[in-house]
Structure 1
Amino acid sequence: MRALLVVNPVATTTSARTRDVLAHALASDLKLEVAATEYRGHARELARRAAEQGTTDLVIALGGDGTVNEVVNGLLHHGPDGGRLPSLAVVPGGSTNVFARALGLPNDAVEATGALLGALRDDSSREIGLGLVTGTPGSADAEIPARWFTFCAGFGFDAGVIGRVESHRERGKRSTHSLYVRQAVRHFTDDRQQRHRGTISLLRDGQAPVDGLVLTIVCNTAPWTFFGNRPIYAAPRASFDTGLDLTAVTRLSSAALARFTTQLLSSSPERGMSGKHVVSLHDETSFTLQSQAPQPFQLDGDHLGLRTSVSFTGVRRALRVIV
């Protein structure tokens, strides 16, 4: 089997020596080519080239969720291809590794490599659904290129927190859970205008709009994220085997934020966020989030700037993953 290993050399939790050991282990079972990313978007280019050339059977992403997202978008640059695309495998090397852990992989890179080799020998894989985001026709963001996501997207408060975290990382701060908590508190303190009623509307064909949303989280699987080793379930029923789930909030006062935070920290596969200010959708094929004012937007933990409108589609059986 011919495989391409796409390595993020600055992955948070994997040293250069460990990456060399993992590549050597993979090369014992595969005809392996190794490519290190050199800039943002490089992993996408490498995966796209592998898909277009048609000689690669497997693309392995060694890095965090951002690296995985780029590889997925490269593989699906021309869309799903009826099983003729290279399969995807993941070796976690980031700080959180939500996608890999949602697939049931070990969070340790060495253990995950062993699991991957075992899955290859057993010919074990699954087809998973993914989320696709496009600009909304007639909106200011209509021409923005389509982009796939593996586990979550956020429009509004959630994305604003991620944007703050990324700005600190660009200044040399490490991505830690405490950094996210501090930036969430600061974003809440600074964003007073939208605490009681937001500017985001949920639009679905044949349904009345839902207005006044402050926080919107779109999930393609559960858990939504991890707080250390604790899984957080914003949308407990979300699955790689269904459409998209949405959890949204229409009020974010101090009391509401404390209540929702408590619910998330105690969430489980059976229980997520609830209450009269929570809007929940399960297994949706398509919908649009639209705002009167530009809102921060993120996919798979990657802040993508401000948008006024984004349209979501759940695409089933979009990609084969080795697990």
Structure 2
Amino acid sequence: MRALLVVNPAATTTSARRRDVLIHALASEVKLEAVTTEYRGHARDLGRQAAESDDIDLVVALGGDGTVNEVVNGLLHAGPDPEHLPGLAVVPGGSTNVFARALGLPNDPVEATGALLDALRDGTERIVGLGLTSGPPGSEDEAVPARWFTFNAGLGFDAGVVGRVEQQRERGKKSTHALYVRQVVRQFLGEPNRRNGTITLERPGADPVEDLVVAIVSNTSPWTYLGNRPMYTSPKASFDTGIDVLGLSRLSTAAVARYGTQLLTSSPERGPHGKHAVSLHDLDQFTLHSKVPLPLQMDGDHLGLRTSVTFTGVRRALRVIV
């Protein structure tokens, strides 16, 4: 088996020495080519090259969720074909690693490498569903390129938090959970539409859901982690179903306190709920429209402002070694 290892040198929890050890371990099982990313989007380009190659069987992403997202978008640039495209393997190296942990991998990169080596020896794999975004036909966002996400996406409040975190990282701050918490507070204090949402959710065969402040789309569960604590916005979300969405129509101080507490105490059985919460499960497609441009994020990557986004759940999109 020939494998391409895509290495993010800026991965939060992986030192150069540890990367060398992991590369050596992987090279003992497969014919390995390791490439270090040099610019934003490089992992996507490498994934695309692997998809177009005739002799690469596996792409291993060593990095955080952003690296994984880029590799996946490269692999699937021409659409899903899990039986013929290279498989994906993940060695977590970021601060949160939601996708890897949702697959059941250890959060430690050394232990995850051991699990990957076992999977390669045993030939174990699964085919997972993913989420896909695009601009709805006839909208001003129609020309925005379609993009895959592996575990979550969001329009509105949570995407604004992601944007604030990225700004802080560009200023040299480390990506920590404390940094995220601070930016949540700042986003809340600066949120102009927290009492009167601008988002409408439309889906075939159902009445629209109006006046949402935020819409959080999940392709799996949990939604994210705070340290080692999983947080569930859509507990039923799964790689084996369509996509789920949690919409909140109020972010007053009292609502934030209530939903924040519910998130911290959420479980695989119950997520946020209440008068101003709407939960939808196993959707094939829906569109979010906003009266004003709002930030969009996918897999923790801020993608700018949008007024309309169509979300599609694509079952059996990607083959994963796990």
**What band does the TM-score fall into relative to the shorter chain?**
over 0.9
Cα displacement (A) at 1:274: 0.3
Q: In the alignment, is residue 151 of structure 1 matched against residue 130 of structure 2? A: no
Deviations 1:175-208 (CA, angstroms, capped at 9, x unpaired):
11111111111111111x3111110000111221
Cα displacement (A) at 1:54: 2.1
Describe the shift of the 1:76–1:271 C-alpha distance in structure 2 as closer, same or farther (beyond 3 A). same
1:53-202 aligned at under 5 Å gives the runs 53-191=53-191, 193-202=192-201
Structure 2 CA distance, aligned partners of 1:292 and 1:59? 41
Deviations 1:2-28 (CA, angstroms, capped at 9, x unpaired):
000000011011001100110000000
Structure 1 CA distance, aligned partners of 2:241 and 2:286? 15
Structure 1 CA distance, aligned partners of 2:187 and 2:47? 35
What SS is found at the alignment partner of 1:264? helix
What SS is found at the alignment partner of 1:218? strand
Structure 1 CA distance, aligned partners of 2:96 and 2:28? 28
Give the letter for the 1:112 counterpart.
A
Cα displacement (A) at 1:209: 1.2
Deviations 1:86-140 (CA, angstroms, capped at 9, x unpaired):
0000000000000000000000000000000000100000000000001111111
2:241 aligns to what?
A: 242
Deviations 1:227-248 (CA, angstroms, capped at 9, x unpaired):
0000000100000000000001
1:305 aligns to what?
A: 304
What SS is found at the alignment partner of 1:194? coil
Structure 2 CA distance, aligned partners of 1:183 and 1:81? 39
1:274 aligns to what?
A: 273
1:296 aligns to what?
A: 295
State TM-score, norm by structure 1. 0.99
Structure 1 CA distance, aligned partners of 2:66 and 2:250? 30
Cα displacement (A) at 1:82: 4.7
Structure 2 spans left out of the alignment, 5+ residues: none
Cα displacement (A) at 1:253: 0.4
Structure 2 CA distance, aligned partners of 1:20 and 1:164? 33
What SS is found at the alignment partner of 1:119? helix
User: Following TM superposition, where does structure 1 have runs of at least 4 consecutive aligned residues deviating by more than 2 angstroms?
Assistant: none
Give the letter for the 1:252 counterpart.
L
1:29 aligns to what?
A: 29
Structure 2 CA distance, aligned partners of 1:37 and 1:82? 25
Give the letter for the 1:45 counterpart.
D
Deviations 1:112-169 (CA, angstroms, capped at 9, x unpaired):
0000000010000000000000111111111001100000000000000110010000
1:253 aligns to what?
A: 252
Q: In the alignment, is residue 215 of structure 1 matched against residue 214 of structure 2? A: yes
Structure 1 CA distance, aligned partners of 2:90 and 2:239? 16
1:36-55 aligned at under 5 Å gives the runs 36-55=36-55
- Number of residues of Structure 1 aligned to a counterpart in Structure 2: 322
What SS is found at the alignment partner of 1:144? coil
Give the letter for the 2:39 counterpart.
Y
- Say if 2:82 and 2:316, in contact at 8 Å, map to a contact too: no
1:286 aligns to what?
A: 285
Structure 2 CA distance, aligned partners of 1:90 and 1:206? 38
- Say if 2:150 and 2:219, in contact at 8 Å, map to a contact too: yes
1:10-29 aligned at under 5 Å gives the runs 10-29=10-29
1:228 aligns to what?
A: 227
Structure 1 CA distance, aligned partners of 2:229 and 2:186? 23
Give the letter for the 1:19 counterpart.
R
Structure 1 CA distance, aligned partners of 2:302 and 2:110? 29
Structure 1 CA distance, aligned partners of 2:249 and 2:67? 33
Structure 1 spans left out of the alignment, 5+ residues: none
What SS is found at the alignment partner of 2:207? coil
Structure 1 CA distance, aligned partners of 2:82 and 2:195? 46
- Say if 2:198 and 2:213, in contact at 8 Å, map to a contact too: yes
What SS is found at the alignment partner of 2:116? helix
